[in-house]
A and B are shown apart, each in its own frame.
Chain A
């Protein structure tokens, strides 16, 4: 069973549908016991980091995610859900993250060059930095869908894929059983479904 953590951030319709489409048994939940029993856990997220981190704490999910990670259950953070895996974010002040992967989330705008739009929105290609089971059958330069104005920095040892947007940006990270994608696999067509399938078979 795959637990998708529902902590009141964003719209989980597509994520749930995409998991159903690959035949996964997905439950959207904020029940601690259910999440701790799950074989795989997904931490979604959109919007502002501070707001998401606050809701993660308010719903008690902050500690549950840490427990899941410590247990060794594969966990996948998506978009802001991935950003939450890091130590901290500098989006509208300084906010504490889960600290599961070393690194800092910061604005892309001052770094990417003045002629590029913010948010980084649309289909961009992946460049793999290491062998990852998440991307086992995904060809180099496969396109996936991004929407974000902040990205993770200082996490080089854990970067599994980069994408180019003025500068190389972190597209995916992994550290042991903790995985993250800055892009939305649930919105990335057949490539995204394959990535979700790979995660579900870890």
Chain B
């Protein structure tokens, strides 16, 4: 049986993991390589590295870190942030990324997903979408949730998958940071319209929220979170134990 995946997301800026962290036994909690190793040893099924730098120097630091991480950690690694061209795909894939997540870049350049899928295969193209409710419909937001593109989220996702995205990360801005659970309504809607794996993001505050997610929408493939894992509010081995007890298949 395929298992539900639990995925921590690390935001990296200037070669460091942003946001304070709280881990026993970790000397340097902002060292992305150490943190990635910690997660890999403690039940994470995949890792997402998000590059939130904009400068050229920052990019270089980021790819150095990616190379170091990918040389040590043998679970799937997705990279997002600053992916605007097919060359950007090449840059991070050559440094050891397995999958590349596109967000604003795909909105600015409609050829990005089809071209990247043609060159590197759909299996490495992840469509990441920031969604927010506007007048009763779901809109795609851009630039970290600041700009309403006016695009209908369900249409956009459907089109992205038809164009070659092999996976979808659905981040609900409405629930993100609220820590009261995933946005089940939009996740259910997205799950209905695409055949590729859907990763839920935004809103997890407790292990219970993951149980609710996978029980309510069994078609959801994975749950992604950042701060609750980084702050140690939810420990992945405990979370997986709980999911297992609730009859949800996980890799233990």
What is A's interface to B at a CB cutoff of 8 Å? 10-11, 13-14, 17-18, 20-21, 46-48, 109, 115-125, 143, 145, 147-148, 164-165, 186-190, 192-193
Contact = CB atoms under 8 A, between A and B. Distances in A.
Contact of A124 (B1, B93, B97): B1
Contact of B98 (A164, A165, A187): A187
A109 B198 CA distance: 17
A157 to B, nearest CB: 25
Given A14-B74, A46-B121, A115-B219, 16 more contacts: A10-B120, A11-B93, A13-B96, A14-B96, A14-B98, A17-B72, A46-B120, A47-B121, A117-B197, A118-B195, A122-B222, A123-B2, A123-B251, A188-B75, A189-B40, A190-B74
B71 A20 contact: yes
A175 to B, nearest CB: 26
22 contacts: A11-B93, A11-B94, A11-B96, A11-B120, A13-B96, A17-B71, A109-B195, A117-B195, A117-B221, A119-B197, A122-B4, A122-B5, A123-B3, A123-B251, A124-B1, A143-B3, A145-B75, A148-B123, A164-B1, A165-B1, A188-B75, A190-B74
A13 B71 CA distance: 8
Given A13-B95, A17-B71, A189-B75, A122 B166 contact: no
A102 B56 CA distance: 51
Interface string B163-182: 00011000000000000000
Contacts of B75: 145, 187-189
A14 B3 contact: no
A190 B251 CA distance: 13
A122 B197 CA distance: 9
Interface of chain B, helix or strand or loop or mixed? loop
Contacts of A20: 71
B166 A121 contact: yes
Contacts of B5: 122-123
Most chain-A CB neighbours within 10 Å: which of B1, B40, B74, B96? Answer: B74
Given A119-B197, A120-B2, A123-B2, A186 B74 contact: yes
Nearest to B99: A147
A144 B219 CA distance: 20
Contacts of B221: 117, 121-122
Given A18-B74, A20-B71, A189-B74, A117 B1 contact: no
B74 A188 contact: yes
Interface in B173-223: 195-198, 219, 221-222
Interface string B24-65: 000000000000000010000100000000000000000000
B145 interface: no
A139 B5 CA distance: 21
B153 interface: no
Given A13-B96, A118-B196, A124 B76 contact: no
Contacts of A18: 74
B12 interface: no
Given A189-B40, A193-B74, A147 B123 contact: yes
Given A122-B5, A122-B221, A14 B196 contact: no
B196 A187 contact: no
Contact of A46 (B40, B70, B123, B251): B123
Most chain-A CB neighbours within 10 Å: which of B2, B5, B195, B198? Answer: B2
Contact of A122 (B2, B72, B98, B121): B2
B76 A145 contact: yes
Contacts of B72: 17, 21
Given A117-B196, A122-B222, A123-B2, A187 B94 contact: no
A165 B3 CA distance: 10
Interface string B85-114: 000000001111110000000000000000
Most chain-A CB neighbours within 10 Å: which of B95, B98, B122? Answer: B98
A14 B94 CA distance: 10
